[in-house]
Amino acid sequence: MRFYIFICLIFIVSTVSAVAGTISGKITTSNGAPIPFANVYLENTTIGTTANAEGFYSLKVNPGVYKLIFKTVGYKQLIKSISITNDPLELNVVLEQEVYTLNEINVSAKQEDPAYEVIRNAIKKRKHHLNEVKGYSCDVYIKGLQRLRGAPKKFLGVDVEQIGKEIGLDSNRRGIIYLSESESKFNFQRPDNVREEMISSKVSGRSNGFSFNQSSDLMINLYENLVQFNQLSPRGIVSPIADNALFYYRYRLAGTANVGDLLINKIELIPRRKNDPVFRGFVYIIEDSWRLYSADVLLTQDAQIRILDSLTVSQQYYPADSKVWMLASQKFSFNGNVLGFKFAGDYIGVYKNYDIDPKFPKNFFNGEVLNVTKESNKKDSSYWAQARPVPLTSEEKIDYIRKDSIETLRKSPVYLDSIDRKSNKFKPLSFVLGGYTYQQRYKKQNWQISPVLFDNLQFNTVEGVNLTLRGSFRKNYESRQTYSIIPEVRYGFSNQHLNGNVQVYYRFDPMKSGSISLKIGTEVVDFNNQGSMTPLFNTYNTLVYASNYLKLYERQFVTATFSRELANGIQFNATVDYANRLPLVNANFYSFKPEAEREFTANNPYYGLNNDPAFVKNQALSLNVGTIISFGSEYITRPDGKFYVGSKWPKLALNYKAGLPVMGSDVDYHSVNGRLYDSGIRLGLLGNIAYSIGAGKFLSNRSTWFMDYKQFKGNRVTFYEGSSSNVFRFLDYYQFSTNDYYLEGHVEHNFSGFFMNKIPLLRKLRLEEIVGANYLQTEQLNNYSELYFGLQRLMLRAEFGLSWMGGNTYQSAFRLSTSF
């Protein structure tokens, strides 16, 4: 039966090949220079292609007589009548440069530029053009290329030059680092539902890899008021035909030209203020219908984009039917420089075979925004030679050949062993700063030891100088199943005590985020399970200011965890923990500050001045069951796993925790809590807002110890780590923990430079304005609230905050924080 199906497929493929002819050629200027990325399509259809960077094009068409249209920005449209047979047809064409004239337009200093009338008409028709198509389906081809234009020889101890050789870069660490092609069926329904199926995928140097190309990442709709670029521009970019565009742009009519029966207006975009989030470049608008004909626009760092130095977006539209124009092709070109790594790239999308009135079945848009089929990377080079609409450039052909050869070599045990022998050499300085990794690439497994500095060599009053060494063994499988063994040892030089534990982790179901783990041993932990102060910051405050804020105790424990997705967007977690909990006392009173011993508090969360134990030894058996519900969660399904990409809606976390008085356990309590939160609600040019609202209640608390209480993330120092919106700026780490009830709220708004961008001397610093508030209510803390505002740059933040407790002023101070 399988053999019969195979024969049928061969017959179908051969039949299709027999009835399709190929038109190919080169598109050049009158002096023979190639015209890159020109559009080529059959008149009155959405069947077409795009030329490559060298001007070559290729298009497969069934036999017949057609009119073939060649068009691109800056050149006159050319229509050729052709007759297609089964034999290949070579058709080289020359495009003449388009001349946009102003001969019949008189513009004086007192008159408004005619471009404004065109733009006002386009703005009036914007909503109509935005909503005229409620949904559509089309075929999309994407080719993505990223190249490194330069890099340091070494970076943070990593031999970049050696890695460059392994991936095919030249001696100057330049060359293509990513080349991929994909074909997809793309579906869209207003306002923002998308679903895509990738049916073919090719990645240079990774025969078993799957492309990361995604059509929705290239969805740049200039008919929207605000064009979103995700992390590239958190505030978005104002469209040149937005309702409020005249406030952000000046316009100049660069000329008009006749294209067939159409009159095209070429409009130059000029920012009214240098650093507004706007495009530069040109848009081309059709007279009378006032729709976009094409666009060639640019974003620079003046528009406050991140990561990149510049991004150019070129769009071409064509008529999908007698009334509607759709995107024919789109090209992104970018470049940037991050920490000495200079990079550039291009992404080209070709859209064809539009259905502008599709009948989507019920629940078709179910949150899966992209499905990469298992067979997508099985297509060979002969398939791609026939299927790709944009011919490869000479550079791309060479890259495929070179990377395929490198991949064949890199898969051999001999080569992988030689690479491992070189990279596995032990280097003492590298071990101290970055740890040590021993790899066996052919077996897909590695061993790691954590570095000595900086987080693992610390100081506290309980252990004095303490050193933690953490290792790991990891085994990866083709199916993305993994298992790890993670041992850890910790030694305190003052209390002369050794702790150690080992964790075994197994990811058994990557499609459902299914995992189990078992951890057993001893460890030193914070009384505050939310984390009061990081060990590194505690070391600094203890030694410099004699402030031992961090309070610790010891656990002898065994913990088992289970996690798995129950349904899309619903993740279930369960933990069973049995611990023998032991108190610790101060063993070292050293500080750079004189007479520091008098200032150190005892190692208990009540800040006593004596050195008595904080509690008596006890045992605890606890059960923790919870779920996180991501409403409207969107995800990508690939053969190697399921990947969440976010949601337009908030998340809800629900949790039940119980202390069980069995097996010698000294605890007896039951508690429930919930939290509704969203880490980023876009408010357009006004930035983003994040919030978190939580509440909880101990249903019973017959026997609880301090570490069983509900804890909160507080702060008592000027410079701290962790500037997220759920951190209280002035709340004590332990004092207001509760075993009764609580109500907690956090909100923070990031204006993303809305105000600072308007101050000439400060805009180059790219500072982001932050305003936030926190609230807490417990049985012993009545209406505690905080208000803060400040400035942020990357991972550093400076704030000024005020707080109130019970309606009375509590504290106010400056705070510095980092989120490294």
CATH of the domain at 613: 2.40.160
Mean pLDDT of all residues in 3-21: 36
Q: What value does the mean pLDDT take over residues 573-580?
A: 98
Q: Is 460 part of any domain? A: no
The pLDDT value recorded for residue 2 is 34
**Range with the largest mean pLDDT of 249-258, 374-383, 423-432:** 249-258
- pLDDT exceeds cutoff 50 at 754: yes
Number of domains comprising the chain: 3
**Boundaries of domain holding 330:** 115-408
Q: Indicate whether 114 pLDDT > 50.
A: yes
Last residue of a domain, one of 381, 408, 435: 408
pLDDT of residue 674: 97
Is the pLDDT assigned to residue 10 strictly greater than 90? no
Confidence tier at 486 by pLDDT (50, 70, 90): very high
* Cβ atoms of 443 and 417 closer than 8 Å: no
Question: Are 16 and 164 in the same domain?
Answer: no
Q: Quick one: 86 and 131 in the same domain? A: no
pLDDT at 106 (0 to 100):
55
Res 761 pLDDT > 90: no
**Is 446 within the bounds of a domain?**
no
Residues 673 and 720 in one domain: yes
- Model confidence at 20, pLDDT cuts 50, 70, 90, reads low
Q: What's the chain's average pLDDT?
A: 89
Report the share of the chain in percent with pLDDT over 90.
55
Residues 698, 786 share a domain: yes
Range list of β-strands (E), 441-481: 445-449, 457-460, 464-476
**Beta strands of 683-740 (E only): which ranges?**
688-703, 719-721
Look at residue 517 and tell me if it is in a domain: yes
Query: What pLDDT does 14 receive?
Result: 33
Q: Do 333 and 271 share a structural domain?
A: yes
- For residue 358 the two structure tokens come to 């599709």
Residue 468: inside a domain: no
- In this structure, what CATH number is given to the domain that contains residue 77? 2.60.40.10
Query: What's the pLDDT band for 416 if we cut at 50, 70, 90?
Result: confident
pLDDT at 657 over 90: yes
Joined together, the tokens standing for residue 759 give 């101050």
pLDDT band at 816 (very low <50, low <70, confident <90, very high): very high
Structure tokens at 290: 């006032």
Closest listed residue to residue 62, CA positions, set 17, 93, 92, 26: 17
Q: 433 or 39, which is more confident?
A: 39
Confidence of residue 110 (pLDDT cuts 50, 70, 90): low
376 & 296 share domain: yes
Same domain? For 242 and 377 the reply is yes
| Residue 618 pLDDT exceeds 70 | yes
Place of tokens 């956090």: 746
Query: Domain for residue 624, yes or no?
Result: yes
Residues 224 and 361 reside in one and the same domain:
yes
- Which pLDDT score is estimated for 258? 87
- Residue 238 reports pLDDT greater than 80: yes
pLDDT of 478 > 90? The answer is: no
| Residue 378 scores a pLDDT above 80 | yes
3-state secondary structure 546-560: CCCCCCEEEEEEEEE
**Alpha-helical runs (H) found in 550-618:** none
Give the integer Cα–Cα distance in Å for 113 and 84.
47
Dihedral over Cα of 414, 419, 424, 425: its sign: positive
pLDDT of residue 811: 93
Quick check: 493 pLDDT over 50?
yes
Q: What is the pLDDT of residue 5?
A: 30
Residue 459, pLDDT > 50, answer yes
Cβ atoms within 10 Å, residue 659: 22
Residue 105, pLDDT score? 52
Kindly report, residue by residue over 153-211, the tens digit of the pLDDT: 887 667 777 777 777 788 788 889 999 999 999 999 998 899 999 999 999 988 777 88
Which of residues 33, 60, 94 is at a domain's end? 94
Tokens of 423: 């990279």
Name which residue leads in pLDDT, 597 or 125: 125
- Which of 408, 438, 471 lies at the terminal end of a domain, its last residue? 408
Asked if 25 and 129 sit in the same domain, the reply is no
584 and 546 belong to one structural domain:
yes
Q: Confidence band (pLDDT; 50, 70, 90) for 596? A: low
Confidence (pLDDT) at 18: 36
In this prediction, residues 773-780 reach a mean pLDDT of 95
Residue 273 scores a pLDDT above 60: yes
Question: Is 612 in the same domain as 755?
Answer: yes
Query: d(Cα 712, Cα 720) in Å, to the nearest integer?
Result: 15
**Does a structural domain hold residue 269?**
yes
- pLDDT of 15 reads 34
Q: Range with the lowest mean pLDDT among 248-252, 637-641, 746-750? A: 637-641
Q: Strand 193-203 relative to strand 368-372: parallel, antiparallel, unpaired?
A: parallel
Q: Which of 386, 325, 389, 310 is nearest to 356 (CA)?
A: 325
The answer to whether residue 483 sits within a structural domain is: no
Q: How far apart are CA 689 and CA 712, in angstroms?
A: 22
Q: What is the mean pLDDT of residues 37-49?
A: 85
Strands (E), 339-479: 341-355, 368-372, 436-440, 445-449, 457-460, 464-476
Q: Which of 80-84, 133-137, 624-628 has the lowest mean pLDDT?
A: 80-84
Residues contacting residue 792 through CB under 8 Å, at least 6 positions apart: 723, 750, 767, 768, 769, 770, 798
- Euclidean distance between CA atoms 50 and 36, whole angstroms: 9
For residue 690 the two structure tokens come to 């994040």
Nearest by Cα to 531 from 689, 355, 734: 734
Residue 473 has pLDDT above 80, yes or no: yes
pTM of the model: 0.83
Q: What does the CA dihedral 55, 61, 63, 64 come to, rounded to 10 degrees?
A: -80
Q: How confident is the model at residue 753 (pLDDT cuts 50, 70, 90)?
A: confident
Q: Is residue 697 part of a domain?
A: yes
- 671 and 787 inside one domain: yes
* 549 in Cβ contact with 496 (< 8 Å): no
pLDDT band at 91 (very low <50, low <70, confident <90, very high): very high
Between CA 311 and CA 335 the distance in angstroms is 7
Q: What is the pLDDT of residue 104?
A: 55
Per-residue CA distances from 642 to 10, 107, 160, 514 (Å): 33, 59, 31, 11
| pLDDT of res. 19 | 43
Q: What is the 3-state secondary structure (H, E, C) of 213-279?
A: CCHHHHCCCCCCCEECCHHHCCCCEECCCCCCHHHHEEEEEEEEEEECCEEEEEEEEEECCCCCCEC
For residue 163, what are the contacts with CB-CB under 8 A and spacing of at least 6? none
Average the pLDDT over 407-414 and give the result: 76
- What is the β-pairing status of strands 668-682 and 688-703? antiparallel
Name the token pair of 610: 């004596």
